[in-house]
Chain A
C-alpha cells in the first residue's frame, strides 16, 4: 500500500485526477498516520476523523461525476488553531477559548474548503501565537519530529511538526514575526509568509493586526505556490487586503534564475551567525550561483533595532486585540467574580498564560500617556526606516537571501529568559515590519541531524520571485533532506 502521507499536495492531486486512488483512501491513510505518530509528536489539538472522511466521500462522489473539484481536491491538511472554523473549537491554545466555537469560517479556511482541501484537524501553537517554541501552549507540548527532545519552533510549531511528521500534506499557518518561517526552518519545511495584504486576515484571531499574515507550511515549494494561489486575493471583508491582480504562482516556478540579482545583507552575516549555519547557507549560495544568479552585498542599516521595534508594536496592538477576551460575551468567565472589575481581572488572570499577560502589560505600558511618544511613536518611526532600508536594497537586487533562524532546534526549557526567546526571530522580524514576502526552505542538516533553513525575502507582492528562486534551489541543491526519523 502506498504511503500517501509521504506525498506532497501536488502529487496527491495528480494521483486523484488520474484515478490512481480515492480521497477516502488517502484521508484514511493520513488519519492512520496521525494515530500512529502524533502521540509522540503532539501536533494535533483536535483531530476531525469523521468530518474529514465525510469531506473525502464528497470529493470522490464529485470526481466520479466528472465535476471540477478544485485545485486542492482530496488533499488532507491541518489548520493552526488560530483560525476561526465552523467545525470544532477555535482555541488559540488558550484556556480563555478552550471551549469557544466560532460562528463562521475564516476567509482563508473557506477558500481552502471551496478548493476541495480536507481538514484533518487543528494543530498546536504558542498561546495566541505568542512565542517561538510552542512551549506557551496552554494545552500540550509539541515535539520536533527530527528530535523529540527539541522544540518545533513557534508559534506555528504544530503546523511545522504535523508537516514534518507526515501527519498532513500542508498546514495553514500565520506569521507575525517569523511564526511560519522559524518553525519551518527548525522542522525542515517550506514556510511562506506572503506580503501583508496578500491574504485576508478575516477570521484569523488577531495578535498584531499590522504584522499578522496567513501563509502555508508545506513539504515543497510547488505546494507553497499551489496553496498561495488558493488563499490569496482581495477580500471585501478585510479592508487591508490588496486589490491587485493575482498571478498564477505555480507558473512562476520556471527553474530559471539566470541574471537574478540576490542581495546578502551584511548586517545578517556577522560574527553572531552560528558558523555551521553560515556554512550551510554558503553552500546554498553556491548552488544558486551555479544556476546563474548574481550575488551582491546590500545593507539594511536599521536591522539592530528590529527586535525592539517589533516588540513595542506587536505588544501594543495585542494589548487592544486581546482586550475583548473579558468573560462578558464568550470564552472563559471566572465563576467567582462578584462584580465587573473582578470579572475582568479574574477571567484574564486565569484565562491567559504568563507570556500573553506579559505582552498585554508591555503593550499597555508602551501606549500609556507619557510613554507613547518615547516607545510606540518612536517605534513607528523606526519601522518606516526599516522599510526604507529594504526599498533601497531592492533598488540594487531582486531578492534578498538570509538565514531564517540563528540556531537549529533547541531543547525544551533551553530558553527561559523571554528576551533570549525573542531573539529567535531576529532574521524574520524585519520582513513583517516592512510588510514584505518571505519564504524559509530547508538547506541541509546540521551535525546534530537537525534541519537548517534559508530565507528569501522579496519586494512587496513579488512572491513570484522568491518562489521561483526557492524552487530553483530546491530542484538543484543536489541532496535529499530525507524524512524526520519518526515512525
Chain B
C-alpha cells in the first residue's frame, strides 16, 4: 500500500515591536535577567494590560501577506494554565476570534506549486524563560521575555512532504523578513516551528492519528524530523501497530524523534474573553493603511524580475531571496547597469563578500551606483573582469568609488596597442616551444600565451585586445 503524509504547521513568530504587547517595557530580552520588566509583565497585583497598536499593525501586515481575511472585530482571551514562566498563570491570547483567518500561501516546491491554507494567525504574549543552571538546586525565571509580542500562524493540513514543509517555512520566513516584522532568528527562538504529522493510504480522505513534533532548532532539522516521522508512522502501520497521539521531540544527534508527552489533548485551558482589554476593531481604513504600506512580496517580485529585466528564473529567485538584495539589484539596474551583468555580480562576488563579512547586502554596505559604474568600466574596456573583482572587494571594504580605486591602485587597463605589442613580442620570444606548437597547428596554445601576457602586465591588459594582437603577431611569424 502506498501512503501519503498529511502535515500542518504551527509557527510562532516574535514580532520586532520596540515595546512589549501589553506594557512599555523593551522587547530586548537579551538584557541582564529581569531588567526589562514592570508590574504588568511580572503579573503584579492590580496591574492591567494595555494593547500595543504596533503589534496589531504588524499582525495585520502578515495576515494580508498570507491572503487572510482580517477580522473587523476580534478580542483577546485568557488561556489558563500554571507554569512558573507564566507571570499571571494565564496567557493573553486569542481563542475563537483570531485577528487573521482563512488565508493561503502558494508554496513553490520542487517545480510545483502547493497552495497551503492558512487557518489563522493570532496574537498572544510570549512567556518568561526558566533556567535551571543557577546552582543550589534552584531554578530561576527571567521575565525579560514575558509579554514579548508573539504571532501564531497555523496552516491547514495541506502539506504533503517534508520538502514542502521546508519550502513553506522558508517562504514564510522570506515574507516575514520582507515585511520587516521579525528578525526570524530560529536559534534565539524568535521563530519556532511545530509540525502536526499523520499518514494515510494514498487516495483516502480520513486523517490518520497525528503526532506533533516540537522544539527543532532549524528548518533543515524540521525537514529531517518530519521525514523521519513519516517513515516511522508508515512502518508502525505496516507492522500492524497504531499511532499514538502525542508530542515528539527531535534528537538531532541520533536523527530520530522520541515520545515526550502523551494525551496532549487532555489540557483544559479554560479560555474565556480577557475582561481587561477592549475588543480589537480593525476598520476598513486601518486595513487599507496597512495594505498601502505593504512592500512588494517575494513571489510577485520574482515574476516581475523575470518579465521586466529578462533575467533567468533562477536569477530572479536568488535575487528576491531577501528584500535587501532585490532592492539592491533594482537600484543597480536603475543606475544604468545591464540587468544580467548586475545579477551575475550580485549573486556571485558580492554575495560571497557579504557572507564572508557576515553582512546583509544593502546600500549602507555598497552603493548600487558604484556597482553600475564598475560594470560600465568593464564594458568600456577600462578594467578587465579580473581587475574588477579586486576593485569590487575594495569597494565593499572602503565604500570608495570604482574610479578612485582604479586610479589609486594604478589598475587602469592597458588598451594601448603599442604597449601591448611590446609585451606580446617579449612573451613570444620567451616561449618559443609554444610558438612552435602553435605553428604546428596546436591552436589551443594561444590560451597559454594570453595568460603569459596578462601575467606580464599584472592583469591590466585588455584581454580582448591581447587576443587579437597575439593572433596578428603569430601570423607574422608563420
Contact = CB atoms under 8 A, between A and B. Distances in A.
Nearest to B266: A369
A216 to B, nearest CB: 19
B43 A369 contact: no
Contact of B82 (A106, A209, A344): A344
Nearest to A328: B84
B12 interface: no
B282 to A, nearest CB: 16
Q: Is the interface of A mostly helix, strand, loop or mixed?
A: loop
Nearest to A341: B82
Nearest to A90: B45
Interface string B28-44: 00000000000100111
B390 interface: no
A204 to B, nearest CB: 6
A239 B50 contact: yes
A326 B276 CA distance: 21
A219 interface: no
Nearest to A83: B46
A361 to B, nearest CB: 12
B46 A202 contact: yes
Contacts of A97: 45
A317 B275 contact: yes
Contacts of B141: 328-329
Contacts of B50: 236-239
A340 B46 contact: no
Contacts, number: 97
Contacts of A99: none
A323 B88 contact: yes
B151 interface: no
A364 B42 CA distance: 23
A36 interface: no
Contacts of B47: 202-203
B270 interface: yes
Contact of B87 (A100, A205, A320, A329): A329
Nearest to A235: B48
For chain B, give the interface size range. 20 to 34
A329 B42 CA distance: 8
Nearest to A82: B46
Interface string B258-288: 0000000000101110011110000000000
Contacts of B67: none
Given A209-B276, A239-B276, A320 B90 contact: yes
B270 A239 contact: no
Interface in A58-115: 83-84, 90, 92, 97, 100, 102-104, 106
B44 A103 contact: yes
A330 B272 CA distance: 26
B70 to A, nearest CB: 21
Contacts of A92: 45
A203 B42 CA distance: 14
B87 A209 contact: no
A402 to B, nearest CB: 26
Interface in B1-53: 39, 42-51
B46 A206 contact: yes
A237 B46 CA distance: 11
Nearest to A367: B270
Interface in B332-373: none
A368 B48 contact: no
A247 B270 CA distance: 41
A104 B38 CA distance: 10
A104 B39 contact: yes
Nearest to A344: B82
Contacts of B45: 84, 90, 92, 97, 100, 102, 205-206, 324-325
Given A239-B51, A239-B276, A323 B46 contact: no
A106 B46 contact: yes
Contacts of A323: 80, 82, 88-90
Interface in A303-351: 316-317, 319-320, 323-326, 328-330, 340, 344
Contacts of A319: 80, 270
Contacts of B42: 329
A240 interface: yes
14 contacts: A102-B46, A202-B48, A203-B47, A237-B50, A239-B48, A240-B275, A240-B276, A240-B277, A317-B275, A320-B88, A320-B270, A328-B141, A329-B42, A376-B272
Interface of A: 83-84, 90, 92, 97, 100, 102-104, 106, 201-206, 208-210, 236-240, 316-317, 319-320, 323-326, 328-330, 340, 344, 364, 367-369, 372, 376
Shortest 4 CB-CB distances between A and B: which pairs? A323-B89, A367-B270, A210-B275, A209-B275
